[in-house]
Amino acid sequence: MKICILAVLVFGVMILQAQPVKVIVDPSGKAGFKTIQEAVNGLPDSSKEDRIVFVKNGIYKEQVYIGKSHVVLQGESRDQTIITGSIADVIYGCEHPGDRNSAVVNLDGNDITITNITLKNTWGLDHGDSLTIQCPDRKTGLLKAIMLKKTAHQFVLRSFKSTRLKVIGCTILGWGNDAVSPWNSDSGMYYFKDCIMQGATDFYCPRGLAYAENCTFISLDPGTAAIWHDGHANKEMKSVWVNCSFTGEHPFKLGRYHHDAQFYLVNCSFDKNLADVAIYKAASASADIAWGARAYYYNCHREGGDYQWFKNNLGDAAGSPVPGMINASWTFGGKWNP
């Protein structure tokens, strides 16, 4: 692996700066690697600096796993660099017992950036309303019938251990539940900017600390909630949306939670199909929710008229934050400023 050295003249003194390691993926085989996974596998296991995996335009039908830290997955162009699969979580689990990496892109490393790429899990698009499969029972080993709806769990992007994850300028398309699932509930910090995210129930469902700005959320499953949060590990954990827009099939609900959660929405817009239902506790929620419903809004509006439940109430939040305070650094409690 070669590291380029850049010579910079500063006040007459020559300073040598190490350039980031950069490898190129090209499906034609004209570059160093034909698949993304080969490129990731070829990186050294550890690094204190970011390594760039530059992915040239093309359709990559592969499941990607990044267990290494300081990796930048960068597409040549957002609409033409596509990583795609058709994966239902239950079917994957039947075929790969004990393997949780059923998403199109699976992460375990820290300090990962994904930018300028389209990620797609098309299982819900490719299948009808329901499908029955035979799956071995985990305890008995005997086959049992399982019926899957087309909106069954199908992950596009998922992590269990990652923190300081940045997703910038990406399109993340799912046709099922839990499409975007960064799930490090203890120490996860995630930053989304200028992204489009689509899916069915709870399709954006971070655990830990999450901040999204200038993002568009598209709900495909009428009558279900679009966003979800789990912040049970720490009372300060929160999920924040700033300058985001929400649209969906009529009538979609904004959000819900199964565990202690905290929602902040600032300068957000909702289309006319938003149902008149405040963010709510799911019927199957955990019994040990301690801190109650915490959903805070400022300057949010709905096409066709606002609902009372998203009136300005930032003053009710802990510390009574003002709108100008609500940014990424505030969200992450000063631990990280992406």
Q: Give Cβ neighbours of residue 292 (< 8 Å, ≥ 6 apart).
A: none
Q: Are 209 and 180 in contact (CB under 8 A)?
A: no
Confidence of residue 1 (pLDDT cuts 50, 70, 90): very low
What is the rounded CA–CA span in Å between residue 8 and residue 87? 48
Q: Calculate mean pLDDT across residues 160-169.
A: 98
Lowest mean pLDDT among 19-33, 151-165, 229-243: 19-33
Q: How many CA atoms lie within 13 A of 325 on its CB side?
A: 14
What is the rounded CA–CA span in Å between residue 214 and residue 335? 22
Q: pTM of the entire structure?
A: 0.93
Q: Give Cβ neighbours of residue 297 (< 8 Å, ≥ 6 apart).
A: 264, 265, 266, 268, 310, 311, 312, 313, 314
Q: Give Cβ neighbours of residue 10 (< 8 Å, ≥ 6 apart).
A: none
Q: Are 206 and 151 in contact (CB under 8 A)?
A: no
Confidence of residue 8 (pLDDT cuts 50, 70, 90): very low
**Counting every residue, how long is the chain?**
338
- pLDDT value for 155: 98
Is 288's pLDDT higher than 90?
A: no
- pLDDT value for 24: 96
Whole-number percent of the chain with pLDDT over 90: 84
Is 3's pLDDT higher than 70?
A: no
Q: Are 71 and 135 in contact (CB under 8 A)?
A: no
Q: Mind listing the pLDDT tens digit for each residue in 48-67?
A: 999 999 999 999 999 999 99
